[in-house]
Amino acid sequence: MKLLITGGAGFIGSNFIRHMIHKYPDYPITNLDKLTYAGNLDNLKDIEGHSNYRFLRGDICDVKAVSDAAEGVDAIINFAAETHVDRSILEPGSFIQTDIYGTYVLLEAVKAQGIKRYLQISTDEVYGSIEGGSFTEESPLTPSSPYSASKAGADMLVHSYWKTFHLPVIITRSSNNFGPYQYPEKLIPLFITNALEDKPLPLYGDGLNVRDWIYVSDNCAAIDLVLHQGRDGEVYNIGGGTERTNIEITEIILRELGKPGDLIRYIKDRPGHDRRYSIDSSKLKSLGFKHQYGFEDAIRNTVRWYSANEWWWKKVKSEDFKRFYKKAYGEIEW
């Protein structure tokens, strides 16, 4: 199977490419990535010389770049997106452009070139917050932030291309991913790297917001399964089955690193902050999916990876990173 993976230099995309290269070394893989602040070719240093892997720098909003990259491929897996809620609140325009218009450009390429499968990588955040129980694939989309709204819009566009043009599309919606190579704007890598530098850990509100966490390797295995066995026109939730409050995650990180609790800084809550995410993954499990990583071992491995790879994250936490976070968390000294 010849694959085009968009956004493959990002966190989940790079882990997925590594998963596929190791499992299917005979699959030719093209990685199309714009290399925004969160795209990093260091994420793929270990496989950059592989004979069946090639990197193309390009934007999914660029019709010609997408058309050229998609020529002759059997499937497109779209990881390319603006994904950070805080940035979407401050700068929503780029989210609408990349997440919705970029998806449109990819769908048009699928239609024009007769590509056999298109996977849209989405998020549980499109469902919004839920007080009790779990969202299923049939639950209505009620996004709360410009980020989740842009992803919900892209999902609806994908669904419309299934209904109108009968394109072979599938959507996956995963819960909060964590693991190696995650850009340190997200809670777990931000708090690990800040704690390693004895810097404050900015925790929104009361810290009791609940997220369902999945190790990135398990998500990649689930996407691989859906790519090969999923049904066209369907949505598949990919949950970790591990709900933790943000303060619980913070305390685990501090305990693993032997750092004091006074590094925690409670700050004003984020506008529109969802209280709890939870998704039902029964449909995915009916395909035979099983988690390979327990949460406790996975979070411990993640802490160890960041501790051992300062060369990676210290380059990433650049002056631009610090300027943004000073803007986002004004009361924290960076």
- Tokens (6 digits) for 29: 């893989």
Report the amino acid identity of residue 76: I
Catalytic residue at 269? no
In the set 82, 86, 99, 125, the catalytic residue is: 125
Decide if 195 contacts 259 (C-beta within 8 A): yes
In the set 53, 127, 147, 236, the catalytic residue is: 147
Catalytic residue at 215? no
Decide if 181 contacts 14 (C-beta within 8 A): yes
| Bridge partners, residue 101, by sequence | none
Catalytic residue at 124? yes
In the set 86, 99, 124, 274, the catalytic residue is: 124
DSSP 332: S
DSSP 48: T
Helix (H) or strand (E) holding 218: helix 216-229
Exposed e or buried b per residue across 4-40, where buried means at least 16 C-beta atoms within 10 angstroms of its C-beta = bbbbbbbbbbbbbbbbbbeeeeeebbbbbbbebebbb
Active site residues: 124-125, 147
